[in-house]
Structure 1
Amino acid sequence: MPSTDADRRLAPLPAAGYVYRTAWRVATGDLDADLHLRLDGVARYIQEVGAENLVDAGEAEDHPHWLVQRTVIDVIEPIGFPNDIGFARWCSALSSRWCTMRVDLVGSAGGRIETEGFWIAINAKTLTPQRVTDTLVERFASTTAEHRLKWRPWLQNATAVDEVMPFALRRTDIDLFEHVTNTAYWHAIHEVMARVPDVCTTPYRAVVEYRRPIKYGEDVTIGWVRRGPGGASEVDIVLSVGDDIRAAALLRRL
């Protein structure tokens, strides 16, 4: 049995209930050197699928702003190019102000990536969680029996790291709340992945968990440490400003 949340496989596609489906072709700008879909591309795609999902559900006007507290990406088999991706999105747990949303990506020419995001409905004026509508709860609850979801971190902040490198921010990394975008964090994860390719052979899991926002102009560093027998089984990562850890991340074999 799994010993921690980060060990658990994600919830399977439900047999019934509201599952949003869409599809599009892999974009050439989202490919790595092996012509595989990068993780930052995955993060971008699941955000766009989420926006489409809210429109389809009739909830986009009441819930235009969401922040993701954690993103889990399980690369079961890489999605290469050329390929058309079929997306399936559904709720795996929810409460009155947040939910976990599963998105599976399946390539028409092969490849499978499974994801889950912990999404918080945000009031744009106060930047605090806001209660979702009863209609959203009713529709999203049709695919899960967990209706009292609570936030619980999966990752611990690495207190000591073996490697540190700077991570420069660009203006295009900033969202409407003046915070670093979700996808920019995955750019940082790719910097580490390039240095630990043995941990990132499929199937593998990548997790980013957010602590506090990063703002433009701050000096950000990436620190990481390898763990497990011979340091080969997983990599713990932190994104920091000075001594203040703003995000924790994990790379590990499944």
Structure 2
Amino acid sequence: MPFHDAALSFQMIDGPGSGRQFTARRRVRLGDATPNGRLRLDAVARYLQDVSNDDTRDADWSDPHWWVVRRTVIDVHEFPSYMQEIDLTTWCGGIGSHWAERRTRISAVDGTPLIDAASLWVHVDESTLQPSKVPADILNILGVSAGGRDVNARLLLRDKLFDKSTTETTPWHLRFADFDAVGHMNNAAYWVIVEEFLAAHRDVRAPLRTIVEHVVQVEPGQEPVRHIAIGRDNLELQLHVGSTMHAAMWCGLNPSAHIHTRRLYHAVRNHQEYASVRGVQMLHCLPLPLAHAARTNELRIP
């Protein structure tokens, strides 16, 4: 099965009818947005990490830290924009013996879904860092929202068809800032690779699906090489160090995604953060190019 088919075969389940959910509100800040105001996917990945950590601390898990991400799927229905307030709601979408799926929905403050994400988190032993069973107290917390849904830890892209003979290879230069407190390349740093593709292909936008699977951790001092196959509207990529694949990625249009209806001039509303004073829209908090575009109704989703 090709990368394309494997990526689109993943089923993003809907929210739970009952059980634990955790919601946090935040604003899209300057360092998280593109020059045209679109929330970047690497910033989305950081948001997912943050709300996950906040949820586990709030629920008082017995071991909130010993989990590693194996796969994250992000479905973008509509990109949030600079200075927009968003809500992140997270819950358990399924459980396995040594892992669990964390679902997160990013919504506008009026409840409109903007992004859906599903991350496969593997529970590991603190001393050996090998997979270990999910503790009983955590199963009790997650069980209701999971609704009895079982998930497995099989990766979607790792063993799928990937023809290296038709790909280009380019180095991916690591930065000190790519590494986190654990000493490994942070999950969000992998998504910068996808953003480089989106920057060069402005026609590939919502409805959008992107998958990043982590096979082997990237360590400081290594020299990763990207094996890239770019189609008309999608990216297939493997990240190698020597002969070892460390990550697999797919990004492309998601024709099966539900496209949420937005009000007239939704692009302007999403990009401007304004205050109405005596009927005058105060656009001073926008970057000048966005403010001008909002005034002239020329704003487009970047």
Q: Does TM, scored on the shorter chain, surpass 0.5?
A: yes
Which of 202, 207, 219 does residue 203 from structure 1 map onto?
Answer: 207
In the alignment of these two chains, the number of paired residues is: 247
| Identity fraction in percent | 27
Query: Could you tell me how far apart the structure 2 residues matched to 1:157 and 1:238 are?
Result: 11
The answer to whether structure 1 residue 130 and structure 2 residue 132 are counterparts is yes
State the Cα distance separating 1:158 from its structure 2 match: 2.4
The answer to whether structure 1 residue 179 and structure 2 residue 184 are counterparts is yes
Equivalent residue, structure 2, for 1:55: 57
Q: Helix, strand or coil for the counterpart of 1:179?
A: coil
The answer to whether structure 1 residue 20 and structure 2 residue 25 are counterparts is no
Equivalent residue, structure 2, for 1:120: 122
| Larger relative strand fraction | 1
Query: Could you tell me how far apart the structure 2 residues matched to 1:159 and 1:243 are?
Result: 15
1:68-117, CA deviations, whole angstroms, 9 ceiling, x for partnerless residues?
Answer: 00011111101012211101101111123210100001123777011010
State the Cα distance separating 1:235 from its structure 2 match: 1.9
Query: Could you tell me how far apart the structure 2 residues matched to 1:195 and 1:115 are?
Result: 24
Name stretches of at least 5 consecutive residues in structure 2 with no aligned partner.
Answer: 255-302
Contact 2:239 2:247 survives alignment (8 Å): yes
Equivalent residue, structure 2, for 1:65: 66
Query: Could you tell me how far apart the structure 2 residues matched to 1:177 and 1:40 are?
Result: 18
TM-score (normalizing by structure 2): 0.76
Larger mean CA deviation between 23-32 and 103-112 belongs to: 103-112
Give the 4+ runs in structure 1 shifted more than 3 A.
3-6, 145-148
Contact 1:96 1:137 survives alignment (8 Å): no
Contact 1:92 1:146 survives alignment (8 Å): no
1:8-44, CA deviations, whole angstroms, 9 ceiling, x for partnerless residues?
Answer: 4411112211111111111211101221110010000
Contact 1:32 1:38 survives alignment (8 Å): yes
Contact 2:218 2:246 survives alignment (8 Å): yes
Query: Could you tell me how far apart the structure 1 residues matched to 2:163 and 2:221 are?
Result: 24
1:121-165, CA deviations, whole angstroms, 9 ceiling, x for partnerless residues?
Answer: 222321112322212111211112345432112112623143222
The letter for the 2-side match of 1:165 is T
TM-score (normalizing by structure 1): 0.89
| Larger relative helix fraction | 2
Query: Could you tell me how far apart the structure 2 residues matched to 1:125 and 1:112 are?
Result: 39
Q: Helix, strand or coil for the counterpart of 1:35?
A: coil
The letter for the 1-side match of 2:245 is I
The letter for the 1-side match of 2:236 is D
Q: Helix, strand or coil for the counterpart of 2:34?
A: coil
Query: Could you tell me how far apart the structure 1 residues matched to 2:146 and 2:66 are?
Result: 23
Which of 189, 197, 200 does residue 192 from structure 1 map onto?
Answer: 197
Q: Helix, strand or coil for the counterpart of 1:34?
A: coil
* Aligned counterparts, 1:90-109, within 5 A: 90-108=91-109
Query: Could you tell me how far apart the structure 2 residues matched to 1:66 and 1:131 are?
Result: 11
Structure of higher CA gyration radius: 2
State the Cα distance separating 1:55 from its structure 2 match: 1.1
Change (3 A) 1:188 1:5: closer
The answer to whether structure 1 residue 241 and structure 2 residue 245 are counterparts is no
Which of 195, 208, 219 does residue 215 from structure 1 map onto?
Answer: 219
Query: Could you tell me how far apart the structure 1 residues matched to 2:91 and 2:33 are?
Result: 26
The answer to whether structure 1 residue 252 and structure 2 residue 252 are counterparts is yes
